[in-house]
């Protein structure tokens, strides 16, 4: 079976580069589908979808866009158009995977479209910014960022190899045979190194009940990805054992997941459990990266590249108010489980982050702010104790069952 690959890009300014990739893919036996997002001029390539069509898909006026010659406006307009058009084209079966080449502007436009494609659709972005922080371009998608090494400006000794290997990569991705598996309802679980034991115990219980557990590492992107899957209706339940990203969001750490963290399950009627897992810690990179305003706080070196800072009583109380607001919006059963003997491995009696007055302040503020219909279970355990982790799994199973019965 022949697979078709979409070449997405500004053919007016990157024509020779796309002609090279096009020739490579066709020589390898792949079908091609060309989508132009160029605004400045003409190209020798004949696209299947023109840049004017892309612009119109986003509600823009292509001729006015060309007359204005405003690069920022052009990138924004074409980004809106491709974000709407590319998923429609894929749904119609026009292509199986996509590859794009570009600098900052081209990467921005192409990734705007790629982010809207379903997870699993091969997406390769050959970019001058690959290798830097590309989170703004990738979002929670599975875009493969491929460093261009040199600028996307002609075919030379370096770019020839880079473009060929990138084209070969997307070709291999669309041709890959995915082994079949048994489809099971999915549960999203959140984990940090400091809650690994708890998640492992709960996961085993849930899997024995016929669920497949997707574990997300709470580094910002992990939380955002789980929220996106919940919002898309992909999850039967959420085991939110590690809500640490809110500590970073509120205090200013590096693992922020954004203000919508804790919203998707609540607003989309997905049963859940929530604990204050690792809310005792705010994450920074190496010690020298910690902002000066935090000097004098309690720190713990998680590893040479990650430095943890203990949250204060005031910070914990403020985060609790945010949790109450988020959870009160829940349209499905939810249970809040509070471990009295600590929220992480290092937040336990005698541990470096043991600060019971801060944890108690969070517990009391959260309980006071929650609606009466939200179940709260307080346990005299550390979060990683088997008894507590098992209770999290049982409560989630009960909430899922309750949702099915209504």
What is the domain-level CATH number for residue 108? 3.40.50.12020
Last residue of a domain, one of 142, 175, 208: 175
Sorted by sequence, the CB contacts under 8 Å of residue 319 that are 6+ apart come out as 246, 247, 250, 279, 311, 362
The edge-to-edge listing of strands for the beta sheet with 31-36 is 31-36, 4-9, 97-102, 123-127, 144-147
CA distances from 57 to 89, 94, 112, 170, 267 (A): 12, 17, 13, 26, 29
Longest dimension (CA), the chain: 71
Quick one: 355 and 335 in the same domain? yes
Last residue of a domain, one of 154, 175, 196: 175
Quick one: 280 and 227 in the same domain? yes
Domain that holds residue 35: 4-175
The edge-to-edge listing of strands for the beta sheet with 272-274 is 212-217, 186-191, 237-240, 272-274, 334-339, 375-379
Last residue of a domain, one of 145, 175, 205: 175
Cβ–Cβ < 8 Å for 88, 116:
no
Quick one: 146 and 228 in the same domain? no
Q: What is the pLDDT along the chain (406 residues), one digit of tens a residue?
A: 589 999 999 999 999 999 999 999 999 999 999 999 999 888 889 999 999 999 999 999 999 988 887 888 999 999 999 999 999 999 999 999 999 999 999 999 999 999 999 999 999 999 999 999 999 999 999 999 999 999 999 999 999 999 999 999 999 999 999 998 889 999 999 999 999 999 999 999 999 999 999 999 999 999 999 999 999 999 999 999 999 999 999 999 999 999 999 999 999 999 999 999 999 999 999 999 999 999 999 999 999 999 999 999 999 999 999 999 999 999 999 999 999 999 999 999 999 999 999 999 999 999 999 999 999 999 999 999 999 999 999 999 999 999 998 7
- Spatial distance between the Cα atoms of 113 and 117, rounded to a whole number of angstroms: 7
Quick one: 210 and 314 in the same domain? yes
User: Considering its fold, how many domains does the chain have in total?
Assistant: 2
Quick one: 265 and 216 in the same domain? yes
Quick one: 312 and 386 in the same domain? yes
Q: Please indicate, yes or no, if residue 356 is contained in any of the structural domains.
A: yes
Instruction: Reduce the DSSP state of residue 195 to 3 states and report it.
Output: helix
Quick one: 250 and 105 in the same domain? no
């Amino acid at each position: 079976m022949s697979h078709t690959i979409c070449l997405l890009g500004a053919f007016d300014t990157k024509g020779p580069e796309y002609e090279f990739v096009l020739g490579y893919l066709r020589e390898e036996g792949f079908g091609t589908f060309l989508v132009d997002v160029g605004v400045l001029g003409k190209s020798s390539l004949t696209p299947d979808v023109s840049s004017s069509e892309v612009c119109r898909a986003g509600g823009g006026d292509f001729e006015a866009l060309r007359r204005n010659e405003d690069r920022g406006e052009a990138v924004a307009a074409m980004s809106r158009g491709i974000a709407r058009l590319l998923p429609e084209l894929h749904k119609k079966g026009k292509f199986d995977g996509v590859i794009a080449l570009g600098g900052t502007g081209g990467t921005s436009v192409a990734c705007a479209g790629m982010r809207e494609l379903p997870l699993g659709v091969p997406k390769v972005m050959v970019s001058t910014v690959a290798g830097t922080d590309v989170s703004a371009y990738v979002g929670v998608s599975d875009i493969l960022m491929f460093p261009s090494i040199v600028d996307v400006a002609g075919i030379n000794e370096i770019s020839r190899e880079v473009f060929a290997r990138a084209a070969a990569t997307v070709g291999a991705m669309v041709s890959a045979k995915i082994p079949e598996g048994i489809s099971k309802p999915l549960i999203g679980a959140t984990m940090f190194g400091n809650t690994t034991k708890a998640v492992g115990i709960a996961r085993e219980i849930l899997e024995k009940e016929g669920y497949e557990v997707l574990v997300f590492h709470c580094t910002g992107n992990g939380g955002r990805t789980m929220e996106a899957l919940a919002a898309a209706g992909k999850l039967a339940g959420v085991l939110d054992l590690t809500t640490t990203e809110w500590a970073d969001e509120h205090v200013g750490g590096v693992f922020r997941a954004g203000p919508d963290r804790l919203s998707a399950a609540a607003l989309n009627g997905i049963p859940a459990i929530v604990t204050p897992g690792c809310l005792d810690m705010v994450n920074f990179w190496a010690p020298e990266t910690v902002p000066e305003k935090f000097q004098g706080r309690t720190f713990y070196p998680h590893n040479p590249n990650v430095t943890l800072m203990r949250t204060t009583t005031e910070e914990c109380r403020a985060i609790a108010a945010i949790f109450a607001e988020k959870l009160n919006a829940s349209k499905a059963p939810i249970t809040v489980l509070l471990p009295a003997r600590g929220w992480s491995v290092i937040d336990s009696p005698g541990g470096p982050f043991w600060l019971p007055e801060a944890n108690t302040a969070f517990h009391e503020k959260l309980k006071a702010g929650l609606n009466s219909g939200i179940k709260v279970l307080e346990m005299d355990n550390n979060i990683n104790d088997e008894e507590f982790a098992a209770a999290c799994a049982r409560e989630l199973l009960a909430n899922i069952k309750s949702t099915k019965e209504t």
